[in-house]
Structure 1
């Protein structure tokens, strides 16, 4: 992989503090399986349920690593995995790490446009995916990804195969001997996760064994006081939250439940029947569970801690959870730096509801102005972070120059304030990103798709607040004179282009002009403010002016 940053002073500090070590993920997963052999991972699914103890996942992963080696995959090769939260996906992750491959998790709902880009940009030699899941025919989608010159092996979960491909079951049936442990360094890149950025193309975020283990160890340490806790996560395996739970389970030994799709009634039943005590969630998931308790009148007495992240969290949601007897708390992080801040469940509810907590573990953060100078408490500025969990650079080295300050501090692009107690509160975003239900969406990418529609002259895309998903996509467009455009037209257009469904605008604002700076840039802050304000009903409604259309999904 390329684009690595060698933050030597910081790395030396993490090693001296014992936060980076010579241990690799191979070592950690092997040792975790030995310490917690019968701890269970449960994969809840309406169509593909499974469960296995950690020792079984370890053994099957080791044998699958041997089968991968028979395919010719070697240390440093890239393998992409677009699999929902299934047992097979966990085994593939384990196998890839065991062989020293670079793992590229891909969100399972991504369409051929995103998947094709990721495969080409990462140089993946192998791809693992289902043949079908729910309404998605992955083989049909794969036929539309375009040429991927480095891709040699397409491995499917199911009975159907891609042309020249092989099934995962056939590889497991080889019962190959586990390969010899690869000669790895803990600072080797072992995972690249693609996240939407301010440009139309996803950014490849590179993590090493050390950066991921620093995060997983800190999370496992937080679990130490609750040995019987049962964790549930709805975050997909292609998301950093899903990746972390897969590793965290081996370090902590806690029972872990992963769901492949969100069905509130089903998840609520799982929580009640299995005694789930800890939940990782976005606002959408928590809102859904609160509605279930309200509508059914059936409590969830085991549920205690709810770790909220992945999207802006309304304070009212934390207060509602408190009223239901659940201790919800906000956190702040990203694919680049997974958990920067977090509140403690012991904090007063006002702290948990109205701030994003204090620096987590050994992480550090500052609030700076546009010139990188520190700002006093209470003054909004850009959040910059540093810590042992911080990624080591993008695969596109050109992105790194603007992403870091001197000393290796990461420029998050988010605007926040710090109070005198060190509590962070995110108040706005410099980066042009929409976070819908925990998934990053590039406004630039959506704008590019909009401008391919023949009726659209100009387009600006921004986030609109939403109580369930945190944010949704709103498109402000100027249309060709005499042309008409509806939200339904946009839905059809995005389906035809082939981008993931969640990037489709859910609100359309037809305007006659866009607010701009003196330099001609669209003032996105003005558009976001317009969405936060109550919409007045114009006197000439229906006779021109601004037209607003919404869709709920």
Structure 2
């Protein structure tokens, strides 16, 4: 694929100019079309080029799921610049690190959003030597996109750096992940192939576009013309209403998002029958929720990916139910997998090993090149740090993360397996399992749970529940923390390091 981003965007706007964009927001609600967004973005990109932004320069966009994010993405592509999306929840520490390391020359933010004063956050970052201009969404932004003319776009090769995404930084400083237009467009082509079986799509994205999942939804609209409905903050009631009103066919999220949608639809009489496929990450989905989805013809399946390799495997709507429930799907077109042991050698088929990936969507390395040595094997294989295997039919099973294994008395315990059983308990709404320090065993399992309204739970209740499941005794939780909510990052990933801190400081 030899297109760069701006070429793909121009072609999409010519092919489906009326592709719809709906932004559900109390701050910046909007209904518009792909042609309107691309025209505004190209006009802004011409202005950026006229003010000194050239090929390879970095444009940072700390904007929620608004039309303006899309305009900036087109503008960056028009000028030949690198788009750097940043999640809006970051404070001065994270933002200053990203801006300094990336060398971003322009930064786009709201003036205010969800109680945050963005000019104050930027001011608190301290010196930012490379940053030339901070544009807030308002009069200045409007001038950039409305005034002036459109020239020919800057020349960029499809393999050049085009998108810089920072990892969520759940365990360390964020890492700048480099993607080319060729890689991201290959990703979009694979998504067309795997999602297309359900027919024409209308996508609802609850993801913040600073996260790779949110950015992918944005680029599907810009480069493919897939109609898009955006939410700038999560509300199950708003989500259910949007699905009903706009006949959304496809969405994604965590089991938390999905259960909220279903409950809201029941409570307010929303029609969700247009929703045919719902993609969740590598998180267990409670069986009762699956049953409810099945009753309305909604396929819920998993995918596996990361900021570095956005989609490695994915289910599809016609996968058998047990594969939808218990696997991460099969490798998407062009993706290769191998599994290695602690010695770096390949493990026998069917055995657990560290998952290594290769394919056209794979990132081009970290911005901090010192990180690449540990990330790649010879031959361009990316080491994910996740443990898994393929079943006999080629579906991926994730066992755990190397860093997320609980070692009790020398026995490795999969936190994912424990979490699946926790979620099956009738009192539990959300759950995570982490290692808790123990003088005798080294580590034991601590269950961190959020209870359903009006429910109660004791450690003895959990012991009985795990005993009835037939699971090995050492996997039964020996500590219990009941929380109001689990700490999560902007993409919905549970912040295990915060839960481990709780486990380390809590009394046995």
Bin of the TM-score, shorter chain as denominator length:
0.7 to 0.9
Cα deviation per residue 1:153-194 (whole Å; 9 max; x = unaligned)?
A: 1010036xxxxxxx3123234x22224322211110111100
Is 1:414 aligned to 2:386, yes or no?
A: yes
Alignment gaps of 5+ in structure 2: 406-414, 450-456, 461-477, 487-508
Q: CA deviation at 1:344?
A: 1.6
Match of 1:65, SS state, is helix
Alpha-carbon distance in structure 2 between the residues aligned to 1:97 and 1:469? 43
Is 1:232 aligned to 2:204, yes or no?
A: yes
Change beyond 3 A, Cα 1:119–1:304: same
The answer to whether the Cα contact below 8 Å between 1:234 and 1:281 also exists between their aligned partners in 2 is yes
Alpha-carbon distance in structure 2 between the residues aligned to 1:515 and 1:398? 37
Change beyond 3 A, Cα 1:386–1:535: farther
Query: Which of 476, 481, 485 is the aligned partner of 1:552?
Result: 485
Task: Write out aligned runs for 1:451-490 (5 A).
Answer: 465=419
Alpha-carbon distance in structure 1 between the residues aligned to 2:118 and 2:159? 34
1:279 aligns with 251
Query: Which of 322, 327, 346 is the aligned partner of 1:374?
Result: 346
Q: CA deviation at 1:319?
A: 4.2
1:341 aligns with 313
Query: Which of 160, 164, 170 is the aligned partner of 2:143?
Result: 170
Cα deviation per residue 1:359-405 (whole Å; 9 max; x = unaligned)?
A: 11111112221123222343211111111000010011111111111
Is 1:530 aligned to 2:446, yes or no?
A: yes
The answer to whether the Cα contact below 8 Å between 1:132 and 1:158 also exists between their aligned partners in 2 is no
Change beyond 3 A, Cα 1:475–1:418: closer
Query: Which of 36, 46, 58 is the aligned partner of 2:16?
Result: 36
Is 1:204 aligned to 2:165, yes or no?
A: no
Q: CA deviation at 1:431?
A: 4.0
The answer to whether the Cα contact below 8 Å between 2:162 and 2:179 also exists between their aligned partners in 1 is yes
The answer to whether the Cα contact below 8 Å between 1:363 and 1:387 also exists between their aligned partners in 2 is yes
Is 1:289 aligned to 2:205, yes or no?
A: no
Match of 2:446, SS state, is helix
The answer to whether the Cα contact below 8 Å between 2:63 and 2:88 also exists between their aligned partners in 1 is yes
Alpha-carbon distance in structure 2 between the residues aligned to 1:546 and 1:342? 34
2:38 aligns with 58
Q: CA deviation at 1:302?
A: 1.1
The answer to whether the Cα contact below 8 Å between 1:231 and 1:257 also exists between their aligned partners in 2 is yes
1:130 aligns with 110
Alpha-carbon distance in structure 2 between the residues aligned to 1:92 and 1:469? 38
The answer to whether the Cα contact below 8 Å between 1:227 and 1:254 also exists between their aligned partners in 2 is no
Task: Write out aligned runs for 1:296-335 (5 A).
Answer: 296=268, 298-309=270-281, 311-314=282-285, 316=287, 317-335=289-307
1:351 aligns with 323
The answer to whether the Cα contact below 8 Å between 1:186 and 1:209 also exists between their aligned partners in 2 is yes
Change beyond 3 A, Cα 1:250–1:398: same
Task: Write out aligned runs for 1:507-518 (5 A).
Answer: none
Change beyond 3 A, Cα 1:373–1:239: same
The answer to whether the Cα contact below 8 Å between 1:232 and 1:278 also exists between their aligned partners in 2 is yes
2:84 aligns with 104
Alpha-carbon distance in structure 2 between the residues aligned to 1:298 and 1:385? 41
Cα deviation per residue 1:67-103 (whole Å; 9 max; x = unaligned)?
A: 2123221111111100000001100011101111011
Change beyond 3 A, Cα 1:352–1:62: same
1:247 aligns with 219
The answer to whether the Cα contact below 8 Å between 1:377 and 1:420 also exists between their aligned partners in 2 is no
The answer to whether the Cα contact below 8 Å between 2:183 and 2:360 also exists between their aligned partners in 1 is yes
1:261 aligns with 233
TM-score, normalising length: structure 2: 0.81
Alpha-carbon distance in structure 2 between the residues aligned to 1:149 and 1:409? 36
Change beyond 3 A, Cα 1:47–1:474: farther
Alpha-carbon distance in structure 2 between the residues aligned to 1:286 and 1:322? 13
More deviation, 108-117/385-394: 108-117
Is 1:139 aligned to 2:139, yes or no?
A: no
Alpha-carbon distance in structure 2 between the residues aligned to 1:514 and 1:143? 50
Q: CA deviation at 1:225?
A: 4.7
Cα deviation per residue 1:307-356 (whole Å; 9 max; x = unaligned)?
A: 222x5233524444223431111110111101100112101111100111
Match of 2:357, SS state, is strand
Alpha-carbon distance in structure 1 between the residues aligned to 2:480 and 2:191? 47
Task: Write out aligned runs for 1:424-463 (5 A).
Answer: 424-431=396-403
Aligned-CA RMSD value: 2.9
Q: CA deviation at 1:299?
A: 4.0
The answer to whether the Cα contact below 8 Å between 1:79 and 1:125 also exists between their aligned partners in 2 is yes
Alpha-carbon distance in structure 2 between the residues aligned to 1:393 and 1:307? 27
